């Protein structure tokens, strides 16, 4: 399929590059770091070779979210966003941008989001999970009351928020001790992001802002296959909702969330997701440079779905969600 739009595609700046060191075997670092720092060379060649017309670019992880000093987090977010804006300006038919945000400080995050959308033309924000605030051993999630002004700005700007994974802090990861292979994309990324998403659903956020849209990668971080149980466990004892949200969490998942195919190139999984959330809420992505664009494209271009669904997932849904005109 030609003309695909991919939206979990990462880059790094020198200040954040080392945050990606250690996720893959050491012998791959030269290749991975080169991929992360390249924007207008090999990246575009890979896009051309695999029918990807546009990428929506985002900073690597955890980057800004792992900088516990508020001013420094704001500085790095602005620096990376300014660099990304230059690349987008030079390549408007190939790239769009997601804002990196200093969620350590709500006022700073709101100001940077507004600047990125209104002045730099970004199509949304991508945030790498919880933020460390003031101390290294802190993990602050965005369902907390102090983030209500931020969500108001997101809703007013009418742009999506991509909740991207990060690993739990070592002090909060005892279940993985002695099993480091379970960290990262194998398991911990998905578990961490799924729980964060459920917290957002249960908080009442989407009752206050019913048009707010959240994007999850990796075919939904396991949520499509768990939502029925989330809402229906031990049903014989009656309704057990003990959270502020007015509706069952599955309602918000089906109305306020999109998922992407990033790093999860399996037809059975895609079809399950389509049955749960619908093909109108699934978006093609690769997860470059951590996954190969050709692996994503070669699978997606021939997977056993209808051509109408392929066009929607590969291109049309993203054009509608991000108001992209090509």
Q: Where in the sequence numbering do the catalytic residues fall?
A: 287
- In DSSP terms, 119 is beta-bridged to none
Neighbours of 170 (CB within 10 A): 10
Contact (Cβ atoms closer than 8 angstroms) between residue 70 and residue 104: yes
Backbone dihedral region for residue 219 (phi beyond 0: left; psi -120 to 50: alpha; all else: beta): left
DSSP 130: S
Phi, psi dihedral angles at 125 (to 5 degrees): -130, 150
How far is residue 203's CA from residue 246's CA, in Å, rounded to a whole number? Answer: 9
How far is residue 62's CA from residue 16's CA, in Å, rounded to a whole number? Answer: 8
Q: Which helix (H) or strand (E) holds 310?
A: helix 307-311
């Amino acid at each position: 399929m030609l003309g695909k739009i991919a939206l979990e595609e990462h880059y790094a700046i020198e200040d954040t590059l080392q945050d990606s060191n250690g996720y893959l075997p050491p012998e791959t670092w030269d290749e991975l770091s080169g991929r992360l720092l390249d924007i207008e060379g090999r990246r575009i060649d890979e896009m051309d070779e695999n029918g990807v017309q546009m990428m929506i670019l985002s900073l690597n992880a955890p980057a800004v979210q792992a900088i516990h000093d508020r001013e420094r987090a704001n500085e790095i977010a602005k620096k990376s966003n300014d660099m990304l804006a230059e690349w987008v300006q030079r390549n408007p038919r190939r790239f769009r941008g997601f804002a990196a945000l200093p969620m350590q400080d709500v006022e700073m995050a709101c100001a940077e989001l507004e600047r990125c959308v209104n002045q730099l033309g970004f199509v949304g924000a991508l945030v790498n999970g919880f933020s460390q605030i003031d101390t290294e051993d802190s993990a602050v999630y965005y369902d907390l009351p102090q983030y209500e002004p931020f969500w108001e700005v997101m809703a007013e700007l009418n742009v999506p928020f991509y909740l991207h994974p990060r690993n739990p802090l070592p002090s909060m990861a005892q279940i993985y001790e002695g099993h480091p292979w379970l960290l990262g994309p194998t398991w911990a990324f998905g578990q961490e992001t799924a729980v964060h998403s459920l917290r957002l659903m249960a908080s009442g956020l989407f009752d206050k802002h019913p048009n707010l849209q959240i994007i999850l990668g990796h075919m939904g971080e396991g949520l499509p296959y768990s939502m029925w149980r989330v809402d229906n466990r031990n049903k014989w004892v009656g309704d057990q909702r003990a959270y502020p949200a007015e509706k069952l969490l599955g309602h918000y998942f089906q109305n306020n969330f999109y998922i992407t195919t990033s790093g999860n190139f399996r037809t059975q999984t895609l079809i399950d997701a389509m049955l749960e959330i619908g093909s109108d809420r699934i978006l093609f992505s690769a997860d470059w440079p951590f996954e190969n664009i050709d692996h994503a494209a070669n699978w997606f271009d021939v997977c056993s779905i209808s051509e109408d669904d392929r066009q929607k997932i590969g291109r049309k849904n993203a054009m509608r969600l991000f108001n992209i005109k090509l």
